[in-house]
A and B are shown apart, each in its own frame.
Chain A
């Protein structure tokens, strides 16, 4: 048993924290993440990856949360990347291109799409919503139903019959609604039980990454709150002299440390060979992290006073991101 990072992991933590602290959001950040090998990390070495595991994903996601960076990482690498990685056969060259950052994949899970095998391939009809960072993606990994049987497909972003409406989510992430009308898939990754399994694995890896991101966000909220309590003066004294506020800050730490433990548990469970073990572990992770995200977000805003509910202040934005993660965790 040990909770220490290896030397390589500690270096990864340092360099990702530096990257996210320096870089602004946007395409440039994604390119720099690719340059650093962050996108290649979970993929096998013979497919252009680094062969690293969920602990490395945890480190990257937590650093991202800490800096409140908004990137396609969770959807593209943790969810869609897992599907590509674990599918029997991914389209030729796709993993290498995703790992290098040359092509970007987006995960289209929410919404209803029906699919049928036709002569010329699999045809899709229906709608996906809240597709994370769909604009600018080259391919979508799409879940669909063939009758009642799940299918996972790869669809080119420029496929005929596919339309996109772009918007943003309340956590500032870019998202899109995708409409499929007679779209022909580029390839099928899995059907039936294999597809259900891939979808579950994608959900688990996504939840594990988001749990770590939430821990980073909670740390950012706690840090900002402590700074505020130590510097803001009312009634002639700093806020930190009021016991009611000190106790709320202590509550935030307790919740954060519980969530941190669960982010580690997620990383250490997400590749367990036993599906029941994974399912139970990730469900426990979601339960604890969701509640912690809510408590830390709400309390952080409350302790900041009026400034906490302004658009301009980072704590309010972190609260919105934590709220979105809380909702994800609740849905499973």
Chain B
């Protein structure tokens, strides 16, 4: 039993650290550090910088143009990004649709999409949730009816993160309403968002930001060639995507960064006070979670699927939320001023970040859903 990294891993870490220090724009770094909304250029430029180095798609195998890193290298890479205040590679592209294309895409789809997905020439949105299908995703009712070489898609999608910046949307649709199980009649389509019949409407969230949207599909024609895998097998691909979404969702480095801001704001005089002790307690839980994450990674590296990744999601979001709340309290009166996205910058974004993170325990499988998973898959209840 040994927690230390190998000399090769340490050399890799140093290489990543030097690269980020050299390449990351100071303005992007500042916005990440201060918890500001990132511009489209922040995300795209950084993704392309990483991609030029071959690092934009940490989890992809070399056969798909990825770096082919070990679980430990991926962990080190992400940890370095967080520590250096760099944006993450765009998760819709890299962690969600990318692995699905690699695992289930046709040769033609891989050819068309993998490179532009890695380079963020295509920005993907996720078209899963609907007004009537949240945690119960399989209850979705957007329909796709076959018409020659096309599907005709009708329905409404909800909570599409960054869809207003996106070019394409990976979308779950119902192709067989008569299927005996609701999971059975679902297909997975790739939809060009410039297609006629698509309307994207912004939703402003309680943090004053425009991140999520609703997407209306009205007789949208989608080529059958843009379906992933088999018709009515979409649920299988969706489950695969969601399991990838959940790994690494603990965001430990991000929370550590917020704690560092708490310490800065407290200064030496506040270190032993109530807030300082709360920060200590969060930091201790974070240390435990880091080791829990490494244990899960080690199990995954040994080829075991580990339903304990639900623990990472639950605890990771709990700590992110706790740290953001603590920062808001520590900043206090200086952080009350509020601006909506697009109106400039407030002096502090601590409150905005606190409000943003309330969603963290709702998306990607709500904490209550994760507990259901633990109860049945881990505890055997």
Contact = CB atoms under 8 A, between A and B. Distances in A.
Contacts of B315: 254, 258
Given A3-B1, A226-B379, A257 B372 contact: no
Interface of A: 1-5, 9, 55, 226, 229-230, 240, 243, 246-247, 249-251, 253-254, 257-262, 264-265, 267-268, 283-285, 287-288, 291
Given A226-B380, A283-B284, A262 B371 contact: no
Given A246-B372, A253-B379, A265-B288, A2 B281 contact: no
B284 A243 contact: no
Going nearest first, the 5 A-B pairs with the smallest beta carbon separation are A261-B291, A284-B284, A246-B375, A250-B371, A287-B284
B298 interface: yes
B280 A287 contact: yes
B289 A261 contact: yes
A264 to B, nearest CB: 6
B283 A284 contact: yes
29 contacts: A1-B4, A1-B5, A1-B298, A3-B298, A4-B1, A9-B1, A226-B379, A226-B381, A247-B375, A249-B374, A249-B375, A249-B381, A250-B314, A253-B311, A253-B378, A258-B315, A261-B289, A262-B288, A264-B1, A265-B288, A267-B1, A268-B2, A284-B284, A284-B288, A285-B284, A287-B284, A287-B285, A288-B284, A288-B287
Given A226-B381, A264-B1, 15 more contacts: A1-B2, A1-B3, A2-B2, A3-B298, A9-B1, A240-B381, A247-B372, A247-B375, A250-B375, A258-B315, A262-B287, A264-B291, A284-B287, A288-B285, A288-B287
B311 A55 contact: no
A2 B381 contact: no
A230 B379 CA distance: 10
B345 interface: no
Nearest to B308: A257
A262 B291 contact: yes
A250 B379 contact: yes
A226 B375 CA distance: 10
Most buried by B among A243, A251, A288: A288
Interface of B: 1-6, 9, 72, 280-281, 283-285, 287-292, 294-295, 298, 308, 311, 314-315, 368, 370-372, 374-375, 378-381
A1 B308 CA distance: 19
B1 A5 contact: yes
Contacts of B379: 226, 246, 249-250, 253
Contacts of A257: 292, 308, 311
Contacts of A9: 1
Contact of A265 (B3, B281, B311, B368): B3
Contact of B371 (A229, A247, A258): A247
A265 B380 contact: no
B288 A2 contact: no
A300 to B, nearest CB: 13
A250 B292 contact: no
Contacts of A3: 1, 294-295, 298
A286 to B, nearest CB: 8
Contact of B1 (A55, A229, A253, A258): A55
A284 B40 CA distance: 39
Most buried by A among B315, B380, B381: B381
A284 B292 CA distance: 14
Contacts of B284: 262, 283-285, 287-288
A239 to B, nearest CB: 9
Nearest to A4: B1
A259 B287 CA distance: 11
Given A264-B291, A265-B291, A229 B381 contact: yes
A128 B284 CA distance: 32
B351 to A, nearest CB: 27
A268 B3 contact: yes
Most buried by A among B6, B285, B287, B380: B287
A258 B292 contact: yes
Contacts of B308: 257
A230 B287 contact: no
Given A1-B6, A3-B294, A287-B281, A258 B288 contact: yes
A264 B283 CA distance: 17
Contacts of A283: 280, 284
A55 B283 CA distance: 24
Nearest to B292: A261
A328 B14 CA distance: 40
A268 B291 CA distance: 11
Contact of B381 (A1, A230, A288): A230
A97 B9 CA distance: 44
A254 to B, nearest CB: 5
Nearest to B277: A287
B24 to A, nearest CB: 27
A264 B287 CA distance: 12
A30 B295 CA distance: 33
B368 to A, nearest CB: 7
A253 B3 CA distance: 23
A254 B1 contact: no
A257 B378 CA distance: 12
Contacts of A288: 284-285, 287-288
Contact of B368 (A247, A284, A287): A247
A7 to B, nearest CB: 13
A246 B72 CA distance: 33
A262 B295 CA distance: 12
A262 B375 CA distance: 23
Contacts of A230: 380-381
Nearest to B378: A253
Contacts of B283: 284
B371 A265 contact: no
A285 B380 CA distance: 29
B288 A243 contact: no
Contacts of A285: 284
A107 to B, nearest CB: 26
A288 B289 CA distance: 10
A64 to B, nearest CB: 19
Given A247-B368, A287-B284, A253 B374 contact: yes
